[in-house]
C-alpha cells in the first residue's frame, strides 16, 4: 500500500498504537540500549546457571563412574541440578536480550538460592565459602533486578502506573 492509500491517523490513535507493545515478542516497548545493571544481572544469572551445570555434571559423573554410597541418588541429584540450571540460563539469556519475561525467572532463581546459601553457611566444611559466595551473588543480583533502571529497560511498570 502506498502512503496515498493509507488512512491518516489521529494523534490519539498514534498514541494508543505506540503505547501497545507488539504481541508475542515479550520485549519492552522501547528497549533501546541495555543498561549496565541489566548486563551485570544477566552475567550473574548465567554464572549461577553454569555453576549448576558444573555441579550437576560432576555429581552425575561421580554417580555413573565413581563408587558413591548410593548410585541412584547421585544420578538423580546430578540430573536434577542439570534441569534446574535451565531456569537461570534462560533468565540470563532473556535479560541479555532485554526481554520483559526474563525478570520473573531471574528473581525466582535468586530467592531460591538464598535458602541454599543459608544451608551451606550452616555446614562445618569448605561449603561455608560457597555459601558466602552464593549469598553475595544472590543478593547482588536481586538488587540489580529491582533497580529502577533495570525495570525501565525491561518495560516493567509498577501497579497502577500504566504508561
Q: Is the pLDDT of residue 139 over 50?
A: yes
Distance CA 89, CA 81 (A): 12
User: Which pLDDT does position 27 carry in this prediction?
Assistant: 46
Give the least confident one: 1-5, 57-61, 120-124. Answer: 1-5
Q: What pLDDT shows up at residue 102?
A: 94
The upper half-sphere exposure of residue 57, i.e. CA atoms within 13 Å in the direction of its Cβ, equals: 7
Beta-carbon contacts of residue 29 (< 8 Å; ≥ 6 apart): 18, 19, 21, 155
Spatial distance between the Cα atoms of 9 and 151, rounded to a whole number of angstroms: 31
Cell numbers found for residue 142: 536481586
Residue whose C-alpha is closest to residue 38's, from 127, 129, 156: 156
pLDDT over 90 percentage in the chain: 60
Residue 111 CA to residue 142 CA, distance in Å, equals 8
Indicate the pLDDT class of residue 162, thresholds 50, 70 and 90: low
- Give yes or no for a contact between 31 and 150, defined as CB atoms under 8 angstroms apart: no
Model pLDDT for residues 40-77, shown as the tens digit of each residue = 999 999 999 999 999 999 999 988 887 778 888 989 99
CA distance linking residue 57 with residue 39, whole number of Å: 27
pLDDT of residue 124: 83
pTM score, whole prediction: 0.75
Amino acid at each position: 500500500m502506498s502512503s496515498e492509500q493509507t488512512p491518516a491517523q489521529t494523534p490519539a490513535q498514534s498514541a494508543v498504537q505506540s503505547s501497545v507493545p507488539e504481541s508475542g515478542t515479550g520485549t519492552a516497548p522501547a528497549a533501546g540500549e541495555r543498561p549496565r545493571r541489566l548486563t551485570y544481572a544477566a552475567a550473574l544469572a548465567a554464572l549461577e546457571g553454569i555453576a549448576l551445570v558444573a555441579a550437576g555434571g560432576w555429581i552425575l559423573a561421580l554417580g555413573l563412574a565413581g563408587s558413591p554410597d548410593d548410585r541412584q541418588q547421585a544420578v538423580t541429584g546430578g540430573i536434577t541440578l542439570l534441569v534446574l540450571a535451565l531456569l537461570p540460563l534462560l533468565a540470563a539469556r532473556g535479560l541479555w536480550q532485554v526481554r520483559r519475561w526474563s525478570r520473573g525467572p531471574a528473581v525466582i532463581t535468586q530467592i531460591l538460592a538464598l535458602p541454599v546459601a543459608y544451608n551451606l553457611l550452616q555446614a562445618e566444611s569448605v561449603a561455608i565459602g560457597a555459601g558466602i559466595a552464593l549469598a553475595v551473588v544472590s543478593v547482588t543480583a536481586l538488587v540489580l533486578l529491582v533497580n529502577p533502571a533495570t525495570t525501565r529497560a525491561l518495560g516493567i511498570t509498577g501497579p497502577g502506573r500504566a504508561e
